[in-house]
Chains A and B, each alone.
Chain A
Amino acid sequence: MKVVAAIDQGTTSTRCVLFDHAGRMVSVAQHEHRQHYPQPGWVEHDALEIWRNVERVVPEALRSAGLAVADVAAIGIANQRETAVVWDRRTGEPAHPAITWQDTRTAPLVAELNAGPTAALFEEVCGLSPAGYFAAPRLRWLLDRVPGLQERAEAGDVLFGTMESWLIWKLTGGPIGGVHVTDVTNASRTMLMDIDRLAWDDRLLAALDIPRALLPEIRPNVAVYAECTAAAPGVPIGGAFGDQQAALFGQTCFAEGEAKFTYGTGSFLLLNTGTQRPTPSNGLLPTVAYAIGEEAPTYAVEGSIAMTGSLVQWFRDSLEMIRSAPEIETLARSVADNGGCYIVPAFSGLYAPRWQPDARGIIVGLTSFVTKGHLARAVLEATGWQTAEVVDAMTAVAPVPIQRLKVDGGMTANHLLMQFVADVLDVPVERPLVLESVSLGAAYAAGLAVGYWPDLEVLRNNWHRAARWEPAMPDDLRRRERENWERAVERTYDWVR
């Protein structure tokens, strides 16, 4: 049996998932890596540890399926986005631990950039206003703070990449012939790529004083980059994707107006906007959805919620109300409704579409009637209402109204939450049979590149509905609850002085 392998290099772990022709999961292997917190707000990963995990998970996934390297038609990669690493092109040694997307050390640098003359240029060219969220400020920080790195970069001795670049370089030989590439979706999250031309922009490079020699070549998502010499020798790497775009592709949202919502630590809504570059609005970000070979790229708008799964984790670990995350459903079902209690998780301000950096979280509506069951409801409902706000913002720019919401991610196992999302959106919510949309998207890219799958239509037919939640909330109740939620949100504003 021939399979396609996806390497999903995530924030906490690295996995290899094998898929068959029908897009069904054949096997999976996974290893976690360590999180390093050298200072408050700093979060780093050891790029070599992650590489060693890649070397382990690929053979492990093959072994558990009883397959050999020769059975793998292609490898695709999906990765945590915006995590930056710089390494020596001769030794393969990282110059510094990888700075992850959760890391906030570049805030002062970004503030300076936003006050300077080039802020508008960034938005015009790459579609993004400078923010600490993206990869380029991390690269600038590395060039400033690692002794001698700027000189080594100018001399062409070091290479920069997000995780897919690093892994592809390692997989294809490293110092001996390793290819140094990135894909359009990861590049679109650096703040350095012209989102129309899909090329590095010299003006943006100049604004951050980043030598071009350091940067990988930008390639389509679906294209054979090179053959592996390690982990799966001889197997072509047929594609790479940033994780959220991979999930959009894995959910087969190939048509304009199709959208998916991935529920994880944070949550991300991506809406396919076709071949037109979307204009930024309401705090939604324009981004590249995918590029297939030499075809024109497809664009997307992205809206995110900072705290969804992480709010449940906080409820578990900091409040110790539950022992495991799924138990929140048990607790929430112990009561009939929220008992008048609302939680707004503005732990580090409010993001799209409100953008209130000085807001902080609140629990409001407390009375002696309220129990921890009501708090559990309020935690889940916060995810539902935030979903509704992002979907509403998206609807304003969508070419067609969103008729149904395709969801994926671990929280979709929470039946109470999914029903609530359907209720507050007043559209059906559907989950696919393969919940591993990120891995599936990477596999689809690689499989298309080598002809394992002939076209997008075949992939679309692989998508199967595993569950569908129909809206069932009366209109007047929805209106009343939404008003309450909005009154609660307003009470979080301007808390930080």
Chain B
Amino acid sequence: MPIQSVERAAAIIELVDAAPLGLTEIARAMDLPKPTVHGLVRTLVDVGFVQQDPDTGRYSVGDRLGRVGHGLDRHELRSLATNWSDRLAARLRLEVHLAVPDGFDALVLLDHVFRPDDSPQTLRIGEHQPVHATALGKVLLALAPGVGPVRALSLVAYTSASLVEAAALTAELGEVRRRGWAVEAGEHQPGIGGVAAPVRDVGGVVVAAVGVVGPQQQLLDTSHAPRPAVVQQVVAAGRAISQQLAHRW
């Protein structure tokens, strides 16, 4: 059964695409009361599919509609995130990674900011990681569309701490969804810990993960719980990058 408000919204977009129109004209063309049309138009403006000229008050097709059908470009994502990734590294004095999914079972590092201690480090941009063994991967596995499901993954043991039982991994992904961040404790490389949070595109879809990695004892306490300050800064960076993405049009 067709949903009437969706049909009407589509009709409004087509009307204002043909010519910029005022509210009265749209209402007349659709043979609907003005308050009904006003509600629909406001919602379309809020999501960016329709925009209103501040001078004439007329409505036309919004910038965002032109972007529908084009996903977020990953290098635009890196560029928009740079300031926030740098800031995260400066505040926590840890190495920062920004990752996007690469297939259903892996991620690729899109950006890497060195740990700011001027020690020799090698740029890891382009490195692939399995999604079940890192904090970045768990964020993507729990939240990003097209990554997983757990039963399709081969749960390789990289270290003795790697999660190789599907049930245990599934339970942890539930935790990630509930609290909005993920942790790793020596599961990919011995002694290396990590904390990561989601990056969302407009509309709330998780498109990337941002996180820090470093010596386990620097990030986590003895029961493998991350330091609250690390979690707070990583989650804030994820939110800030998400906001930056929302402002790109």
Residues of A near any B CB (own CB < 8 A): 22, 24-25, 323-330, 410, 413-415, 433-435, 464-470
Contacts and interface: CB of A to CB of B under 8 A. Distances in A.
Contact of B118 (A22, A25, A414, A465): A465
Given A466-B113, A466-B114, A466-B116, A327 B121 contact: no
Contacts of B113: 433, 466-467
A464 B117 CA distance: 7
B89 A435 contact: no
Given A327-B73, A414-B75, A433 B86 contact: yes
A412 to B, nearest CB: 8
Given A465-B116, A465-B118, A466-B113, A326 B79 contact: yes
A22 to B, nearest CB: 7
A23 B75 CA distance: 27
B157 to A, nearest CB: 32
A334 to B, nearest CB: 12
A433 B89 contact: yes
A60 B111 CA distance: 30
Interface string B113-147: 11011100101010000000000000000000000
B70 interface: yes
B92 to A, nearest CB: 11
B17 interface: no
Contacts of B80: 326
B86 A326 contact: no
Interface string B215-249: 00000000000000000000000000000000010
A327 B114 contact: no
A435 B125 contact: no
In this complex, the member of B90, B112, B121 whose beta carbon has the largest number of chain A beta carbons within 10 angstroms is B90
Contact of A467 (B74, B117, B123): B123
B175 interface: no
A33 to B, nearest CB: 19
Contacts of B90: 22, 24-25, 433-434, 464
B76 interface: yes
B87 interface: yes
Nearest to B70: A323
In this complex, the member of B86, B89, B121 whose beta carbon has the largest number of chain A beta carbons within 10 angstroms is B86
B5 interface: no
Given A24-B90, A465-B118, A326 B73 contact: yes
Closest 10 CB pairs of A and B: A464-B116, A326-B79, A329-B75, A413-B79, A326-B75, A326-B76, A24-B90, A327-B73, A324-B76, A413-B82
B73 A467 contact: no
Contacts of B125: 415
A468 B121 contact: yes
Nearest to B117: A464
Contacts of A22: 90
A399 B47 CA distance: 58
Given A326-B79, A464-B116, 5 more contacts: A326-B78, A413-B82, A433-B114, A434-B86, A469-B123
Contacts of A468: 114, 121, 123
A330 B110 CA distance: 12
A330 B73 contact: yes
A154 to B, nearest CB: 45
Given A24-B91, A466-B89, A433 B76 contact: no
A415 B74 CA distance: 12
17 contacts: A25-B83, A324-B73, A324-B76, A326-B79, A413-B75, A414-B75, A415-B78, A415-B125, A433-B89, A435-B83, A435-B86, A464-B90, A465-B121, A466-B116, A467-B114, A468-B121, A470-B123
In this complex, the member of A22, A325, A466, A470 whose beta carbon has the largest number of chain B beta carbons within 10 angstroms is A466
A253 B90 CA distance: 20
A224 B100 CA distance: 48
Nearest to B78: A413
A495 B123 CA distance: 43
Contacts of B111: 415
Nearest to A416: B75
Nearest to B126: A415
Contacts of B123: 467-470
A327 B89 contact: no
Nearest to B66: A323
Nearest to A323: B70
A464 B118 contact: yes
Contacts of B89: 433, 466
Interface in B61-119: 70, 73-76, 78-80, 82-83, 86-87, 89-91, 111-114, 116-118
B86 A466 contact: yes
A97 to B, nearest CB: 24
A330 B74 contact: yes
Contacts of A24: 87, 90-91
A48 to B, nearest CB: 23
Contacts of A327: 73, 75-76
